[in-house]
Amino acid sequence: MVEGRRLVFWVSGALALAVFALAVFASAALHDTAPGRGGAALAFGSLLAVAVLAAAVLVDRWLLAPARALARSIEIVLATGRASAAPLPARHALGALPLRVGALVERVVGAEERLGEERARAKAAAEADRRRLAAILRDIGEGLIHAAPDGRILLYNDAAVTLLGAPAGLGLGRSVFEVLSHETLAHHLDLLRRLARGDASVRGSEPFIVTAAETGRLLRCRLSLVGDEPPGGEGFVLVLAEASVPVSGGTGRLLDQLESGWRGPVAAIRAAAEVLRESALDEQTAWFTRVVVEETARLEGLLCELAAEARAMVLQQWPLYDVATGDLAEVLAERLAARGIDVRLGCEGESAWASADSGTLVVLLASFLERLARKGVTEATLSARNRSHGVTLRLAWRGPLLEREEFETWLASRLEGWGLPFTPREIAERHGSEPWLASSPEGGVLHLPLSPPKGVHQVRAPPALPARPEFYDFELAAAPASLESQPLRQASYVVFDCETTGLDVEQDDLLQLAAVRVVNGRVIYGEVFDCLVDPGRSIPEDSIRFHGITPDMIVGKPPPEVVVARFARFAQGAVLVAHNAAFDLSFLHKYERRAGVRFEQPVLDTLLIAAFLEDHRGDHSLDGVAARLGIPIRGRHTALGDSLATAEILVRLLSMLEARGIKTLGEAIRASRSMVEIRRQRARPVEAASRV
């Protein structure tokens, strides 16, 4: 405002000076010819210059000065938060502006006062919540640590201090990797972030064992990510508890005594008694000898059972969780690079699921490869082989084979340089495994058997595959009269999918059948049906590319008619739903007679419903519809993965049908049936063109 005042006076002064100079020039020019007119010009110019200066003074007094006063009052309001009346002159040219500004200031001040009151209440509530949270955290028996993405500790409780042994490195702003085993924690954090990038619903991992850096104490740890974009973008939370897993003595002194210390003497007694029984003995001695043989045999069997139970007890204390061997290979390769171990790791075959502690397992494999690297090995390959009772990891390499003594030395060496107080043998024992070496034409192979997964997981298959051809020429089962008028969301649905040896229903057979229930417009993920099938025939290689089901995976699985009969019980009383349903339904009908069942319930085809709602535009394959509806497909070309995706599609299509005015099951079935002839007509020109 001060700058404006200066500008006005500078401009008015310059203008007055210019007017006066012009008047002097005119007066001088007219002085000789018309002295009277020259004097008048000078007088007029002087008056005009004075008028310009007077106008500047008036502008300053009536406009600029009141504006400056108004600005000062606003500054006071901004500085103090209180309304202040502007000391305006009696006359000014601002009109009603001061009144309007005053009203606005009063409103702003009132809003600020109310906002201040709300802030005070919110602060008091936050402080109360903080005190309650502090009390809760103080009383929680489990340790709790919240850390930023880079590991800086943002929160911890008293239990964490006790469990970690009150280390000097524990404190706000300090790194959590200073108080817990860096290798183990970093591994599980990387693995969880990797899984979360593929599945946004992933929030935590199963418990794993971690070591307190300062005391070496074993702790059970559960890790959860905070933030979705990216996963763990707001940090992570650790829940710590005491681990009751014994560390020293392998699987424990009791188990060692059962398997080696006691079984040997019992076997020796039995062998001696059998030798005596073959000698010429009197009747009484022979009877006692037979009793000794029989009782030692029974005692040996009891010792075997007791050893198995003791081993199971130890393994139950050690938390194992389901992990994909493909993820293990990726993390292992990163760990080798981080440790500077110059071994190029490749992955062979499809990923398999196993039950393991991935952190310690990666350390075991990395330490073995580190030993191989010292012998000049530069290439290795990790693969997984499914077996009847689990999975076998195979680590193959090119180069020299470890000697037996060197292998035993590695098994017995502690992995303290990797942040673990265990030996490779102890890690293997806690996985219920015994690693062994074998030679190969190019080098050697480390075999490590693992337990089967606890849950059901989709088979990983190659991503880019041609789509299944569309089957549409079928009659949808008519709904009973009692179901015709049933509202769409009140019906119960079973969404299913089949994987087969091929696309010809007459010549090909069922390989996998999976389904999930949809009740009240919601997918019930806890109620699924998933069965592999042994069709009693070979599986073509081209078919394996689609679904990833290999011959060894179906060994011992039930035949098609048994699985179809089980599925009929699972789907009883529900509407059957599938994408491109004619194909999947034809395989169910193929085994009806052999299974002793009939599929007579109504059928909905999500492909036909999508075509009806979208007026035939766009791609109506499962991938195309899912992409338009924003539904991710996990485990594509597996029966369970496709069933879950189709179920999510169905839920969204039900809402779209209701918005279109289709409210009942009968109306939805008629809408689907109307699409059959239309799509048949659209397909005929394509078929005719293909024959030309």
Known catalytic residues are 637
In DSSP terms, which residues pair with 487 in a beta bridge? 664
Q: Residue 224: helix, strand or coil by DSSP?
A: strand
Q: The tokens 């009942």 sit on which residue?
A: 664
Q: Residue 223 and residue 146: Cα distance in Å, rounded?
A: 10
Peptide bond connecting 230 to the previous residue in cis, omega within 30 degrees of 0: yes
Other Cβ atoms less than 10 A from the Cβ of 212: the count is 18
User: Containing H/E element for 123?
Assistant: helix 97-139
688: exposed, middle or buried (Cβ count in 10 Å: 0-12, 13-18, 19+): exposed
In DSSP terms, which residues pair with 530 in a beta bridge? 514
In DSSP terms, which residues pair with 386 in a beta bridge? 391
* Alpha-carbon distance values, 233 to 229, 349, 485 (Å): 6, 33, 49
Q: Are residues 116 and 124 in contact, defined by beta-carbon separation less than 8 angstroms?
A: no
Q: What b/e sequence results for 568-588 when a residue is b if at least 16 CB atoms lie within 10 Å of its CB, and e otherwise?
A: bebbeebbbbbbbbbbbbebb
* Residue of 184, 206, 425 lying closest to 320 (CA atoms): 206
* Alpha-carbon distance values, 209 to 220, 247, 270, 594, 604 (Å): 5, 11, 42, 51, 48
Q: Residue 326 and residue 345: Cα distance in Å, rounded?
A: 12
What are the tokens at 488? 């769409």
Q: Residue 216: helix, strand or coil by DSSP?
A: coil
Q: Are residues 525 and 508 in contact, defined by beta-carbon separation less than 8 angstroms?
A: no
* Alpha-carbon distance values, 599 to 2, 201, 480, 516, 596 (Å): 91, 35, 13, 17, 10
Note the residue count of the chain. 692
Q: Residue 30 and residue 32: Cα distance in Å, rounded?
A: 6
Contacts with 201 (C-beta within 8 Å, 6 or more apart), sequence order: none
> DSSP characters for 348-400?
ES---EEEE-HHHHHHHHHHHHHHHHHTT--EEEEEEEEETTEEEEEEEEESP
Q: Are residues 322 and 375 in contact, defined by beta-carbon separation less than 8 angstroms?
A: no
Q: Are residues 118 and 110 in contact, defined by beta-carbon separation less than 8 angstroms?
A: no
Q: Residue 623 and residue 643: Cα distance in Å, rounded?
A: 13
Question: What would the 3-class secondary structure string for 519-587 be?
Answer: ECCEEEEEEEEEEECCCCCCCCHHHHHHHCCCHHHHCCCCCHHHHHHHHHHHCCCCEEEECCHHHHHHH
641: exposed, middle or buried (Cβ count in 10 Å: 0-12, 13-18, 19+): buried
